[in-house]
Amino acid sequence: MEKPDNCILVIFGASGDLTSRKLIPSLFRLYKQDLLPDKFVVLGVGRTQLTDDAFRDRFREELSSMKDVSKNSKNPRDFLRMLYYCSIDTKDPEAYHDVKDRLAELDKEKETNGNYLFYLATSPSMYKITAESLGKFDLHKQDTQNQNTHKKYRRLIVEKPFGYDLDSAKKLNSELHNVFDEEQIFRIDHYLGKETVQNLFVTRFANGMFEPIWNRNYIHHIEITSCESIGIENRGKYYETSGALRDMVQNHLLQLVSLVAMEPPSSFQSYSVRNEKLKIFESLRAIKDEEVAKYVIRGQYGASRIRGENILGYRQERDVSKDSRTETYVAVKFFIDNWRWGGMPFYIRTGKRLPTTVAEIVIHFKATPHKLFQKIGIDESCNQLVIRIQPDEGILLRFGMKVPGAGFNVQNVSMIFKYSELADVYLPAAYERLLLDSMLGDSTLFSRGDSVIECWKFVEPILRAWENDPSIKLYGYPAGTWGPEHADDLIEESDMTWRYPCKNLSDSDSYCEL
């Protein structure tokens, strides 16, 4: 891997959960693999009063106990020395002068050549004021004409949610663009950093056997599932204003749709890949207000008893309204109106408190045009290609084989590849790849502003219909089940239904229940 140029990563919200759970551990793993710049600094910024040493102490024990991902002898103490902290009132624009001064001091001492990345690990309400305050002190300015080797850059990394609806997303785009150019903004979606998601590019475009049949002529339908066995985990205030549609469909699932459905890019450069993804978002057939009840199923988990444990229903969770109509499950049927996919249905679903935590893409190929063996009473199921994103990452291909013996009994069998079977191969966490790419300036796996807006355009009619039409039902489902049974009605063929995956990819034929 190419090593990034020397730089300083500034984390706003450095005393928060995201920094401790994801960002610092991911940076440490990059350090252990010798993938960080030769001269690298992390400057944490927050309202919590901390010294540099106190900030480092927050991570000392966890980093020392982390499983080694390399065979080098790099010590956590050396990594911790890269961490610094600056305490300011982040709501006061004038306070950002202290950040500028500290950056200038560290930049001179560590020789990072003026390269700064600003990571907004804060509440979305802070995005505008942080960006504007950085602009107030010219911290957004980078070299555009300088042809020297050490041409400095300034980049802004933004976490989801990127807006609450279409109007707020447009407003946020405008506010950020008032300070930073689009090429400086890296909108992070951790799903796109997963190794198996990136492998979609290789599966599709490096194998001649797939691309000729990757279209409506040979594929019956495509389904994408991302579900969790956990509930909202004391995040009632956030989830009440979000729900499954905003939290998962608008970003993660539609991003996966774009990778499955996009045309081959002219090159693997960022602009080429993201241009093809944009075309998919622009081709999503809008679901009209009067069609929402037909094409979208929403549900909310209720109380249940699982393996002897009483599970609260969503409305009994902390900070949740007793008459809440927030969806914890959503399934959508939709179409992409272009030459490759015209008329072929896509299905996506996501939910909380389902039987297992799993994310996967399933390509359902069309049955043979002449069901030769069905004439003698043999069931001929459609072939499937299953791309497992998490857990038990891998790829499964299902097809029919003759059972040994007399007659023509057909049985579905599976060919499976699992990443876990690759000995001595480290599967990096999503944030590792995305942090490294942001340092390298590679925006391929990040969302572009125009794509975000197109995704909001697709979900906006659904949100509007739910808000304005009380006749659209919110279905209940017991915690630990696969959601409302009405979701099966989205797949209209009588002999087809959703795939019900288990945690272990090898056990995928069974109906997985807790």
Phi then psi for residue 263, to 5 deg, are -75, 155
Q: Which tokens belong to 141?
A: 């300015």
Whole-angstrom distance, CA of residue 499 vs CA of residue 299: 18
- Please give the backbone phi and psi of residue 389, each rounded to the nearest 5 degrees, phi first: -85, -45
- Taking CA 364 as the corner, what is the angle to CA 363 and CA 370, rounded to the nearest 5 degrees? 145
* Active-site amino acid positions: 252
Sign of CA dihedral 416, 418, 421, 423: positive
| Other beta carbons less than 10 A from residue 101's beta carbon | 12
Secondary structure (3-state) at 332: strand
Residue type, 355: P
Residue 332 pairs in a beta bridge with 296, 348
Confirm if 432 and 26 have CB atoms less than 8 A apart: yes
Q: Which is nearest to 444 in space by CA: 275, 203, 224, 282? A: 275
CA–CA dist 387, 385 (Å, integer) = 7
What is the rounded distance in angstroms from the CA atom of residue 347 to the CA atom of residue 338? 17
Quick one: which of 182, 343, 313, 330 has its CA closest to 252? 330
Q: Please answer whether residues 512 and 500 qualify as being in contact, where contact means their C-beta atoms are separated by less than 8 angstroms.
A: yes
Token pair belonging to 296: 């979208």
Q: What is the distance between the terminal CA atoms of the chain, rounded to a whole angstrom?
A: 42
Residues 6+ apart with CB under 8 A from 286: 457, 458, 461
